[in-house]
A and B are shown apart, each in its own frame.
Chain A
Amino acid sequence: MIGQRKLKIGTAELLLGFSIMVLVVVVAVPVLLILATAFFENGKLNVAAIVKVLQDPDTYMALWNSIVIATGTTIVSTTIGVFFAWLVARTDLPFKKTMKALFLVPFMLPSFIGALSWKILLAPRSGYITKAIMAVFGLEKAPFDIMSIGGIVLVESMYLFPFVFLQVAAALERMDPTLEESARISGAGLLTITRKITLPLVMPSILAGALLIALYSLAHFGVPAILGTEKGIYNIPTKIYERIYSSGGSMAGIKVGTVLSAILVVSAAIILKIQDMLLKKGQFQIIAGKSMRPVVLKLRGLKVPLLIVCIAYLAFTVVLPTVTIMLVGGLKTYGLPMVLKNLSFDNYIDLFKMKLTTDSIYNSLVLSIGAAFVTMLAGTMISYVIVKMKVRGKFLLQFLGVLPFSLPGTVIALGCILTWSGRFGINLYNTIWIIFVAYIARYMAFSIKSNSAALEQVSDSLEEASRACGATHFQTLKNIVLPLVRPGMISAFFLIFLPALRELTTSVLLYGPTTRTIGVAIYALNEDGETVRAAALSTVALVIIFTGEIAIRKVLARIQKQE
């Protein structure tokens, strides 16, 4: 009877309360602390400090470099991405399916490992290729220098172009071919069609991919750290790192870091706003859901040359750096010629004897599995509240949940330092837990996106039917909702696990003596001039990543088959 029902805290209230708590603790507090530290001093708005940071040539050069690198990378990788996407989706290039899969391989190669490899190959004086060219042509000086802004742009582009490639290839494949056919019937030539019909139609996808790259590059630590720092070329993330470490983690360094972070956050917000506007504008109903057979351009005589271009590109950007890293990892001393007698497995064996490297492998595995699992669960819960529950103020949850997506890893790391260094009675600094909470914040958006998509497929009536059948809210979640969103949860797990495994940008600001991640260990070895060990550890990382990647694809394919 109704009179006997007490007002009690039910499943819904628990879910809501827990979701708010997670997002406030993990996301809202760190971000607010960054802004507060950047703009306020002793409780007062402090504009002078901000102006001072911006007037310092050291810092505004970093800002300038960040912009130049991001712009250059975006232009170069968008050009590469669109070209290959068009080849794969719209021409009769041989082995298209295989090529399409291969073009995603650069994604798997962490860009800082790529940078390390290119430094080994192309550094002025010591680079293997540089030396060979100088010897052959009898040059006094190196003909080019990879350790420059141009070099950073090239290396970043090599490993970021799949962002554009994926988006554009998908759009080109799904585009309604009748749009092009009707233009053709109206007498337009292929060039006109491409210029007037195809390009405008896929423009939203191109721009979406391009802006994703801009966002990523702006806040990217690895490549500029390896190729730029030595030559005094800093972008914002490396400058934040430099300031914090040169000041020994003091508040002054952190203060400069927060101001720079605030700049990053604002730039990221602008980029995302532009992307949002473009995507909204570009929502013509041209891209049909069902897949259709698009018109394919016959390459004729260019077929084989273009295939060779594709293969050469991949060989140059993937195979060459990978092999280089593996071989250098086997060298007895860095700089020796690469001949069999100089190679051994000693470095690889040493890796498993050194505490630095064994720790790092262990830490990365534990962190990525743990963070992926926790973030997956938290994301499922938060997505449920956002998608399914009718509560006021849930837009705030949604905002907080996807906010970290636009927050550079450096910013998240700084926020975690400010939050978890004892200010609230909990000091996680120098422990693995501070990296753990940073990863949760950093990857929460992935989990929410994946879980929300799965939950939106679950119609409300499925839950209501269960309630009407006599199941409580909790039983309904357990029996109906969870089984139906499981695919979304699994994909969330892997979406987090793989990037977390190779993470560098965030962990480099948070590691302690025993809590290095693989990325940090490689970076540290390289900084210390232990190039061969850095290369060896990179090789191990690549093996873990590639095996993980393949295993996961197999698992996901099996799940999809079961569905």
Chain B
Amino acid sequence: MSDIRFHSVRKSYDGKAVLSDLNLHIHSGECFVLIGPSGCGKTVALRLIAGFETPDEGEIRIGDRVVASAKQSLPPEERRIGVVFQDYAVWPHMDVTQNVGYPLKMRRTEKAEAARRTVDAIGQVNLGPYQHRLPSQLSGGQQQRVALARALVAEPEVMLLDEPLTNLDANLREEMRFEIKDLQHKTKATILYVTHDHEVALAIADRIAVMDSKGKIRQIGTPEAVYEHPADPFVCRFLGVSSFLEMERKENRFVIRGTDYSVGTPPPGSVADASEALAAFRPMDMTISRVAGDVPDGSAVGFVERTSLLGPIIDFRIRIGEQKLRCQIQTEEAVARNVIIDEGSACALSFHDAKWFSAVVGDGGVEE
């Protein structure tokens, strides 16, 4: 299998830079997810690998082959890739077998061999009974499986998936997520998966790269690493609901701006000596309770502005001083501990797992 390298790749449309200096190394055989807000250039990166676009500057390699540079570009058909598109791109005038067998036909695979591999690929995505159906007779999920089988059948070195699950409904999306992961284990292909959906990204990736709206990569790492230790507020916010509290230094510790409440101590590092900082929390990074007596260190008193029951969890919107944050708790636990606090009442919050960021503007603004 092959790795993929971007070396100083630049691409702009109508004078507007989409990718300004992309350097990226996708390891051989890994499932690499490129995640970012829509319009950030992640799809452009994928299309550059596929050969649907050519870079203005820089170089792209698949394995030891330079597939694209500013001067020359290998056409898509010579790149030995498999692509799965958001809109399936299954050919409506061909049945399932014809669709899946097409790459082998184009590569002049011997007939009997091609037929065997086509049947195999169709079996792998569980479409055996639908071999002779036309796409119009298949559901969206089944069509996307045809697309998957078609991308797999020629055993490409590289598989490129562009938001392949976005058009599917929630249940199907979850199911397909596992199937893709499964197929990757079987085929050992290098996968680049592009999406804006952090749940899919975290579930499927070996490594994730988070791209901001200017096409700059903010962080690369394992799902655990980027989720637990986001490099900046942007990454933190992009990978799930997050609340940010502005902190200021008072005497020798950080407190929530305009209050005396602390949220814990930052780890030694850049933030520790600053006069200001940002603390980020996932909705479950705090415990809510009723106000009773003293407020210990690492806790705060706030007001519940809204309480919503979302089934298995309860979601609180809480104000502390001038700042707002979201807190969630399992419904079962809330009932057991009697903390379904009415809107307008005070509550106590004890924080854990705060993520600390430098408050310096410009280094990773919170905007998406």
In the assembled complex, how far is the CB of residue A273 from the closest CB belonging to chain B, in whole angstroms?
28
B344 at the interface (CB under 8 A from A): no
A459-B87, A484-B93 known; A470+B107 contact, CB < 8 A:
yes
Q: Is the CB of B106 within 8 A of A468?
A: no
Give per-residue flags for A445-462: 1 if the beta carbon is below 8 A from chain B beta carbons, else 0: 000000000000001011
A2-B72, A5-B72 known; A465+B66 contact, CB < 8 A:
no
A182 contact set on B, CB distance < 8 A: none
Q: Closest A-chain residue to B84, C-beta based?
A: A465
How extensive is the interface on chain B, given as a class?
35 or more
A484 contact set on B, CB distance < 8 A: 91-93
A342 at the interface (CB under 8 A from B): no
Give per-residue flags for A483-509: 1 if the beta carbon is below 8 A from chain B beta carbons, else 0: 110000000000000000000000000
A475 contact set on B, CB distance < 8 A: 106
In the bound complex, how far is the Cα of B78 from the Cα of A473, in angstroms? 11
- Starting from the known contacts A461-B87, A465-B90, A468-B77, 8 additional A-B residue pairs (CB-CB under 8 Å) come to A2-B66, A2-B74, A462-B91, A464-B85, A465-B147, A468-B50, A469-B150, A473-B75
A1 at the interface (CB under 8 A from B): yes
In the assembled complex, how far is the CB of residue A472 from the closest CB belonging to chain B, in whole angstroms?
5
Q: Is the CB of B76 within 8 A of A464?
A: yes
A198 at the interface (CB under 8 A from B): no
Of A2, A464, A471, A483, which one neighbours B106 at CB under 8 angstroms? A471
In the bound complex, how far is the Cα of B87 from the Cα of A106, in angstroms? 44
Which of A459, A461, A484 has the most CB atoms of chain B within a 10 A radius of its CB?
A: A461
B150 contact set on A, CB distance < 8 A: 465, 469
- A-B CB pair tally, cutoff 8 Å: 72
Q: Is the CB of B77 within 8 A of A467?
A: yes
Q: Closest B-chain residue to A475, C-beta based?
A: B106
B291 at the interface (CB under 8 A from A): no
| Residue contacts A-B, CB under 8 angstroms, 8 given | A2-B69, A461-B87, A465-B83, A468-B160, A469-B150, A470-B107, A472-B77, A484-B91
In the assembled complex, how far is the CB of residue B301 from the closest CB belonging to chain A, in whole angstroms?
52
In the assembled complex, how far is the CB of residue A432 from the closest CB belonging to chain B, in whole angstroms?
37
Which residue numbers of A lie inside 8 Å of B, CB to CB?
1-2, 5, 459, 461-462, 464-473, 475, 479-480, 483-484
Chain B residues 39-87 with CB under 8 Å of chain A are 50-52, 65-67, 69, 72-77, 79-83, 85-87
Q: Closest A-chain residue to B69, C-beta based?
A: A2
In the assembled complex, how far is the CB of residue A117 from the closest CB belonging to chain B, in whole angstroms?
47
Chain A to chain B: the 7 pairs with minimum beta-carbon distance, closest first: A461-B89, A467-B76, A469-B103, A470-B106, A468-B83, A465-B89, A461-B85
In the bound complex, how far is the Cα of B98 from the Cα of A479, in angstroms? 11
A467 contact set on B, CB distance < 8 A: 51-52, 75-77
A466 contact set on B, CB distance < 8 A: 91, 102
A5 contact set on B, CB distance < 8 A: 72, 74
In the bound complex, how far is the Cα of B90 from the Cα of A462, in angstroms? 7
In the bound complex, how far is the Cα of B149 from the Cα of A465, in angstroms? 12
A464-B83, A467-B51 known; A472+B75 contact, CB < 8 A:
yes
A461 contact set on B, CB distance < 8 A: 85-87, 89
Q: Is the CB of B77 within 8 A of A471?
A: yes
Q: Is the CB of A483 within 8 A of B93?
A: yes
Q: Closest B-chain residue to A458, C-beta based?
A: B92
Of A1, A2, A468, A480, which one neighbours B81 at CB under 8 angstroms? A468
Q: Closest A-chain residue to B74, C-beta based?
A: A2
A5-B74, A464-B52 known; A459+B106 contact, CB < 8 A:
no
Q: Is the CB of A2 within 8 A of B76?
A: no
Q: Closest A-chain residue to B85, C-beta based?
A: A461
B154 at the interface (CB under 8 A from A): yes
In the bound complex, how far is the Cα of B92 from the Cα of A484, in angstroms? 8
In the bound complex, how far is the Cα of B83 from the Cα of A465, in angstroms? 7
Q: Is the CB of A459 within 8 A of B92?
A: no
B75 contact set on A, CB distance < 8 A: 467, 472-473
